[in-house]
């Protein structure tokens, strides 16, 4: 890959990420590659204004932080068709990031120049917040996109009452979930909140949505995996609180009132993630991050 301009986004509350961004800038400068460093707490409008004023769009974005930093960038830059290389600087699990050794031993630039990488196109979800009964041209009041998941929880801050949420799949009413909330996840997001809520791990190459209730009050309320092309409608049920809070990739979005509903469909454009061929495989990452040990009795066997 021939690089002319690189956007460097670093975790805003991390001094380590700040120093890493300076180091990255120095490595690129030594190769006569221009770069622009910005903190991760930028507003989406700011980055859109910056990119629209550029004569030359960045060839790639290098994200220095954890999965949370990467998700913020993925949602802000997802519609600009900029491949993102995420390097784990101070993150926790880091399912979406490369190991930091690739940065500090300077091998990342050689890998990029020699094209020793794969670009994974990860599907995103689009959530349209609509007004019930409105005309088609006026029904959508807000739209969000997510790489990992959308989820719905109580609007209350101090207490956590149960919510009752109606769900339709492809124009068919499927269930009313009563519990702490509901997660709609991509395959990429299956190792995030959905996994913590007992959902299945789905390989990111599988085009699917995972619908996963959070602490349901019925044992019959189970996670379900549906085609990525499905249309999912979420409505708060009036006989419960009548309002629910919409979250996206760990960030609050807005309150869904009883006169609203959410339409969740496949995203407009995928997120392009740069993955080095030298990096661990998906299954090796699961083994390492989730501390899978296998059958310990076999390891302790003397035969």
Residues tagged in the binding site annotation for NAD(+): 67-68, 148-149, 178, 180
**Is there a catalytic annotation at residue 120?**
no
Q: Is 65 left (phi over 0), alpha (psi -120 to 50) or beta?
A: left
Cα distances (angstroms) measured from residue 216 to each of 122, 165, 175, 177, 189: 29, 11, 12, 7, 20
Contacts of 153 (CB under 8 A, 6+ apart): 163, 180, 181, 214, 244, 245, 247
- Which 8-state DSSP code applies to residue 98? B
DSSP 176-194: EEEESEEEEEESGGGGTHH
* Catalytic residue from among 41, 59, 67, 291: 67
Strand 149-153 relative to strand 181-186, pairing = antiparallel
| Cβ partners under 8 Å of residue 75, min gap 6 | 44, 145, 146, 147, 248, 249
How many angstroms separate the CA atoms of 218 and 140, rounded? 32
Which 8-state DSSP code applies to residue 139? Answer: S
Question: Closest Cα to residue 44, out of 79, 68, 6, 88?
Answer: 79
**Active site amino acids:** 67
């Amino acid at each position: 890959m021939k690089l002319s301009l690189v956007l460097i986004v670093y975790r805003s509350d991390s001094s380590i990420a700040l120093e890493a961004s300076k180091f990255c800038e120095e490595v690129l400068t030594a190769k006569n590659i221009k770069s622009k460093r910005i903190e991760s707490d930028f507003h989406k409008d700011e980055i859109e204004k910056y990119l629209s004023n550029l004569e030359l769009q960045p060839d790639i974005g290098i994200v220095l932080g954890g999965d949370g930093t990467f998700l913020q960038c993925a949602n802000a830059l997802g519609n600009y068709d900029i491949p993102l290389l995420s390097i784990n600087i101070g993150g926790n699990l880091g399912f979406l990031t490369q190991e930091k050794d690739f940065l500090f031993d300077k091998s990342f630039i050689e890998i990029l120049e020699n094209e020793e990488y794969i670009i994974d196109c990860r599907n995103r979800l689009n959530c349209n917040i609509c007004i019930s009964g409105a005309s088609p041209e006026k029904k959508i009041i807000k739209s969000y996109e997510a790489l990992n998941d959308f989820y719905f929880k109580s609007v209350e801050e101090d207490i956590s009452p149960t919510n009752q949420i109606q769900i339709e799949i492809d124009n068919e009413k499927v269930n009313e979930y009563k519990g702490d909330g509901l997660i709609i996840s991509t395959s990429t997001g299956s190792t995030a909140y959905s996994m913590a809520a007992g959902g299945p791990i789905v390989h990111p190459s599988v085009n699917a949505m995972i619908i996963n209730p959070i602490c349901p009050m019925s044992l019959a309320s189970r996670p379900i995996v549906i085609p990525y092309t499905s249309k999912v409608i979420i409505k708060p049920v009036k006989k419960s609180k009548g309002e629910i809070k919409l979250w996206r990739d760990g960030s609050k979005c807005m309150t869904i009132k009883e006169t609203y509903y959410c339409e969740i469909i496949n995203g407009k454009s995928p997120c392009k993630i740069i993955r080095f061929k030298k990096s661990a495989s998906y299954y090796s990452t699961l083994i390492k991050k989730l501390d899978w040990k296998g059958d310990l009795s076999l390891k302790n066997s003397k035969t």
